[in-house]
């Protein structure tokens, strides 16, 4: 077991361990899981010279508190929750320091990395927590987090600090138009509905989580033809009978029977993941 690095004083709205996700298990009904915002999670690791997909702590919105048990470097990226340390840069913390995220200002998911990554039980090849499938568990008060190795991180001589280039620090309150590919049932929808999907702004619903993001707006007309369930990928834009799109996320079902109008480009799914309820998004083919 690696060094004990943090004690969880408060889990806040939720905190889990996530890495690059599970590969090759979708055919058995197991979703990939992994970080909701791959862009932010990988930058947290890169700041500390970790592998991009090493395990990080993924924190939801706000309220989490961590007590530092051992002097360490950390990197915090993702949503702005008023962290009491500088974000998007490598930061040294001392034993006894408390890392906290008191109030969310923008974005949804926060990422915490330590040198070497966090230690976690690897189930089906990944340390990612998938609560619905009982693979791992959500952190609770009193849990102790360990780093996966004794890896040490130091800045090179003459380097005062390390931070992510400002071009890579996203403004989660102003997402760009999200790129979407035509889905398997694109031709099931009328030209009017296809144009309507791309032309209007959709509002992210509060009924959104790691399984799927629900969008609200002027409803589309779902095709009347019945469908046999078929594979569903993360980013699939499904249109249920009420005409309000659901975008499958990384803990979403691996098969489904709703027609799939589109597929959000993998590089843009991280943008959608950081859109808080009430935020408006648009799509571009």
- The tens digit of pLDDT for each residue in 253-278 reads 999 889 999 999 999 999 999 999 99
pLDDT confidence tier of residue 155, bands split at 50, 70 and 90: confident
Give yes or no: residues 251 and 275 share one domain.
yes
Rg of the chain over Cα atoms, rounded to whole angstroms, equals 20
pTM over the 0.85 mark: yes
Residues 108 and 104: their CA atoms lie apart, in Å, by: 8
Q: How confident is the model at residue 1 (pLDDT cuts 50, 70, 90)?
A: low
Confidence of residue 172 (pLDDT cuts 50, 70, 90): very high
Q: Choose one of 145, 168, 191: the last residue of a domain.
A: 168
236 and 109 in a common domain: no
In this structure, the answer to whether residues 257 and 275 fall within a common structural domain is yes
* Contact criterion met (CB below 8 Å) for 147 and 119: yes
Quote the CA–CA distance of 149 and 155 in Å, as a whole number.
18
- Stretch 91-106: mean pLDDT: 96
Same domain, 8 and 131: yes
Same domain flag for 93 and 46 = yes
The pairing of strands 255-256 and 283-284 is unpaired
20 with 83, same domain: the answer is yes
Instruction: Name the pLDDT band for 159 (thresholds 50, 70, 90).
Output: confident
Question: Shortest CA distance to 239 belongs to which of 264, 262, 255?
Answer: 262
Provide the domain count of the chain: 2
Domain range holding 267? 178-284
């Amino acid at each position: 077991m690696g060094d004990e690095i943090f004690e969880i004083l408060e889990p806040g709205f939720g905190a889990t361990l996530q890495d690059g996700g599970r590969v090759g298990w979708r055919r058995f009904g197991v979703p990939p899981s992994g970080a909701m915002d791959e862009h932010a999670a990988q930058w947290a690791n890169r700041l500390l010279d970790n592998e991009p997909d090493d395990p990080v702590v993924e924190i939801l919105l706000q309220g989490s508190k961590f007590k530092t048990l051992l002097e360490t470097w950390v990197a915090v990226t993702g949503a702005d929750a008023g962290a009491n340390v500088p974000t998007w840069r490598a930061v040294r913390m001392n034993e006894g320091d408390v890392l906290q995220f008191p109030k969310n200002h923008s974005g949804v998911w926060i990422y915490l990395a330590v040198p070497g990554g966090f230690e976690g039980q690897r189930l089906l090849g990944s340390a990612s927590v998938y609560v619905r499938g009982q693979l791992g568990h959500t952190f609770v008060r009193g849990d102790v987090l360990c780093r996966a190795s004794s890896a040490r991180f130091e800045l090179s001589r003459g380097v005062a600090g390390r931070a992510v280039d400002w071009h890579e620090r996203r403004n989660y309150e102003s997402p760009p138009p999200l790129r979407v590919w035509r889905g398997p049932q694109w031709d099931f929808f009328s030209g009017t509905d296809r144009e309507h999907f791309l032309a209007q702004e959709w509002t992210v619903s509060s009924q959104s989580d790691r399984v799927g993001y629900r969008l609200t707006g002027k409803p589309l007309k779902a095709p009347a033809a019945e469908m046999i369930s078929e594979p569903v990928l993360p980013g699939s834009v499904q249109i249920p009978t009420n005409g309000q799109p659901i975008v499958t996320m990384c803990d979403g079902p691996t098969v489904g029977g709703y027609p799939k109008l589109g597929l959000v480009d993998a590089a843009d799914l991280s943008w959608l993941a950081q859109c808080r309820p009430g935020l408006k998004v648009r799509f571009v083919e």
